[in-house]
């Protein structure tokens, strides 16, 4: 889940804080894996919300989105043209839809944030393309994370790839620092220039969560003040991990211990 927030110094976490981030991030990853297994045509986004809420509490954690700045649900469900912050409700998934499910947990005072886009039944080639571009974009962004790299390197890698595939990268929402706060510094744009931006240091934790559109990158926010949709009605997809800058590279804190159901990876897709 991504938001705008005020500038402040970037927090460098120590060993105990990093261990706490590992625990909560794995709890969030497990909930995301579990909810992916129930995605199917006929499922409502409210049923997804109920599942995530119950699963989170069963782990001893709390759903961070619930009542965060007034957000009314425990998870964000963004279907088709919805870019992010979709509010669960009566919408029922149909065959051919794609849905991003964005899970954030709070456990012992720390946050773990992760999302993925899932296929609902048999999808179009256009839908598969935007999902696979978004998936690969996240991987390329993560590959840039190491001490001494610049935040702009992440954005440049993502932007160059996505635009090279004929897609666009949303500018209005960004990744974010995370820890005791849900949304903290640094801001992690998914577009940018090589060698620009803040230099990465060991102990930083933040999310990378590119939102990729099949059409224009421009978005509109609906009257509920949360739901962001593509301005041109085109499909949008997103994947998100919480990462740690280590002494030698990167650790993906929300890495899953099993493949996602209903979100098959096609390793040869871009060959």
pLDDT of res. 8: 53
pLDDT of res. 205: 98
199 part of a folded domain: yes
Q: Which domain holds residue 181?
A: 15-252
Low-confidence ranges of the chain (pLDDT < 50): 3-7
60 part of a folded domain: yes
Q: How many domains does the chain have?
A: 1
Cβ(52)–Cβ(103) below 8 Å = yes
Alpha-carbon distance 75 to 49, whole Å? 6
Question: Any idea what the CATH number is for the domain that residue 61 is in?
Answer: 3.90.230.10
How many other CB atoms are found less than 10 A from the CB of residue 185?
A: 18
99 part of a folded domain: yes
5 part of a folded domain: no
pLDDT of res. 71: 97
Query: What pTM was estimated for this model as a whole?
Result: 0.94
Alpha-carbon distance 173 to 209, whole Å? 9
pLDDT of res. 2: 57
47 part of a folded domain: yes
The three-point CA angle 90-92-96 to 5° equals 155
236 part of a folded domain: yes
Alpha-carbon distance 31 to 140, whole Å? 24
268 part of a folded domain: no
Alpha-carbon distance 226 to 232, whole Å? 18
User: In which residue are the tokens 């120590």 written?
Assistant: 14
150 part of a folded domain: yes
């Amino acid at each position: 889940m991504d938001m705008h927030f005020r500038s402040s110094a970037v927090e460098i976490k120590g060993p105990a804080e990093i261990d706490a981030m590992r625990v909560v991030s794995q709890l969030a990853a497990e909930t995301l894996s579990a909810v992916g297994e129930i995605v199917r045509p006929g499922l409502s986004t409210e049923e997804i919300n109920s599942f995530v809420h119950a699963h989170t509490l069963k782990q001893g954690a709390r759903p961070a989105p619930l009542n965060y700045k007034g957000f009314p649900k425990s998870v964000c469900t963004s279907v088709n043209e919805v870019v992010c912050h979709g509010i669960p409700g009566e919408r029922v998934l149909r065959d051919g839809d794609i849905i991003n499910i964005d899970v954030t947990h709070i456990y012992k005072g720390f946050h773990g944030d992760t999302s993925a886009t899932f296929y609902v039944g048999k999808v179009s080639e256009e839908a598969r393309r935007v999902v696979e571009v978004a998936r690969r974009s996240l991987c390329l962004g993560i590959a840039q994370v190491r001490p001494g790299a610049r935040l702009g390197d992440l954005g440049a890698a993502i932007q160059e790839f996505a635009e090279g595939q004929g897609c666009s990268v949303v500018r209005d929402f960004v990744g974010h620092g995370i820890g005791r706060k849900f949304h903290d510094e640094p801001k992690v744009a998914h577009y940018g220039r090589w060698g620009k931006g803040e230099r990465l240091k060991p102990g930083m934790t933040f999310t990378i969560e590119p939102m990729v559109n099949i059409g224009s990158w421009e978005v509109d926010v609906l009257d509920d003040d949360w739901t962001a949709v593509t301005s041109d009605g085109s499909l949008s997809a997103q994947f998100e991990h919480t990462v740690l800058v280590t002494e030698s590279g990167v650790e993906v804190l929300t890495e899953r211990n099993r493949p996602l159901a209903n979100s098959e990876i096609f390793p040869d897709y871009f060959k």
